[in-house]
Amino acid sequence: MVGPYLDHAATTPVDPRVVERMLACLDRAAGFGNPASSHAAGSRARAEVARAAETVAAALGGEPEGVVWTSGATEADNLAILGTAQHLAARDTPRRRLVTLRTEHAAVLEPMRAARALGFRVDHLTPEPDGRLPPERLAETLGDDVALVSLAQVNNETGVVQDLAALGGLAREAGAVMHVDAAQGAGRLPLDLASQPVDLVSISAHKCHGPAGVGALYVRPGLRLAPLLHGGGQQGGLRSGTLPLHQIVGLAETLRLAVAERASERERLRGLYWRLRNGLRALGDVVLNGRDDGSPHILNVSFAGVHGEALRAALGELAVGYGSACSGGGASHVLRAMGRPDALADAAVRFSLGRFSAEAEVDAVLARFGEVVPALRRVSPLARELATGVPLSKVYRCKTPLPVA
């Protein structure tokens, strides 16, 4: 029997309504076909792709011609960053600097690293201890040599939400392209490209109850990128490859449902979030890694007085997260950048909720942590020190604030 699943930031179960739409596209009689083919089946498939682009664009407040289908947010991030860099590298332009945040996902940090080989300098900004990037910190580093700024709408480990209106406005004033990784935010939080100063947006279906293996990069019409994949010239040559019709339709239906149900779902998830957070707080010495106004589907906390490796071993196969699902292990680079000492970062757990999360699941997880954490603290020297009244910051030799969950 499958236990409680609170790792939706890693991947989500596909909504049955999305599955139904996808299956229709796999049926030979109903809609099977290659969108690039000139026969009737191809025309029907091409029309489905066009409708899907309209749906995705509407969810983002953009134009259908700006939607470029990809295999997911990782490819979209790469296309946004390296596509911009390669396009500019082939031209005589002084814009040879890229700016990002130290807490970004590896799908952003690694393309940034790769851009150095093209002659670009990369500036990694440090957030506040709560994970937010103050606009004035971005303003300090911007100049007429900055080509692109890349930030996540919602951090995948902490749920921290960035002020895209302010940050994007600064990037636009400096003449830089603004890229947003919206893998965790698309559908969950409003993102209106008609009014917000954002040029590129990466999304992925499997983060919001759609299928794995499909995503999109929204490219503001008129913005030029160099393609990373070459082949048959599909999608205006920007991303070659046969379009996976059923996946694309699945992504569109995923976003349509998410936007339609966003308000009620956000309220429901916020209730579950506080039920979980209050239950964990009762354990004592639980540190919040994030902010009260973050996305309600992610809660990241560190359990003081507990050894991280022992905690993971004791929890066994319980479906919660430890840092990013795409990380290679070790203390989280996100929490380190927020000033958390390694021992606390290593004892962090990410709980992430989804459309099918229920109170019973939350309560089952709380019951498990209610058994495990006290048991581990009984054999922990750090916990004994905390029990004598020594402040958390002194026990962990931490210079940044350690907010209690």
Does one domain contain both 107 and 254?
Answer: yes
pLDDT, position 157: 97
Name the catalytic one among 25, 208, 326, 398. 326
The verdict on residue 400 lying in a domain is no
- Give me the torsion for CA of 377, 378, 382, 383, rounded to 10°: 70
Q: What secondary structure letter does DSSP report for 116?
A: G
Does one domain contain both 179 and 70?
Answer: yes
Does one domain contain both 275 and 255?
Answer: no
- The encoded tokens of residue 210 equal 């759609």
Confirm if 333 and 293 have CB atoms less than 8 A apart. no
- The strand order across the sheet containing 348-352 reads 286-288, 298-303, 348-352
Does one domain contain both 22 and 93?
Answer: yes
When divided into structural domains, the chain yields a total of: 2
Tell me which residue of 7, 5, 3 sits closest to 350, measured CA to CA: 7
CATH number at residue 255: 3.40.640.10
pLDDT by residue, tens only, the chain of 405 residues: 468 999 999 999 999 999 999 999 888 766 678 888 888 888 888 899 999 999 999 999 999 999 999 999 999 999 999 999 999 999 989 999 999 999 999 999 999 999 999 999 999 999 999 999 999 999 999 999 999 999 999 999 999 999 999 999 999 999 999 999 999 999 999 999 999 999 999 999 999 999 999 999 999 999 999 999 999 999 999 999 999 999 999 999 999 999 999 999 999 999 999 999 999 999 999 999 999 999 999 999 999 999 999 999 999 889 999 965 555 556 799 999 999 999 999 999 999 999 999 999 999 999 999 999 999 999 999 999 999 999 999 999 998 889 988
> What number of CA atoms fall less than 13 Å from residue 361's CA on the CB side?
21
Task: Tell the residue number behind the tokens 């950048």, with chain if given.
Answer: 337
- Residue 25 bears catalytic tag: no
For the chain, the residue count is 405
Range of the domain at 361: 262-395
Which of 207, 236, 260 lies at the terminal end of a domain, its last residue?
260
Does one domain contain both 380 and 253?
Answer: no
Confirm if 300 and 292 have CB atoms less than 8 A apart. no
Does one domain contain both 151 and 32?
Answer: yes
pLDDT, position 150: 98
Does one domain contain both 159 and 172?
Answer: yes
The verdict on residue 384 lying in a domain is yes
Does one domain contain both 196 and 299?
Answer: no
- Give me the torsion for CA of 39, 229, 203, 182, rounded to 10°: -160
pLDDT, position 1: 46
b/e code 43-56 from CB counts within 10 Å (16+ = b): ebbbebbeebbebb
Does one domain contain both 114 and 171?
Answer: yes
Which of 240, 260, 280 lies at the terminal end of a domain, its last residue?
260
- C-alpha to C-alpha distance for 204 and 77, rounded to whole angstroms: 10
pLDDT, position 324: 52
CATH number at residue 272: 3.90.1150.10
Which of 260, 285, 318 lies at the terminal end of a domain, its last residue?
260
pLDDT, position 271: 98
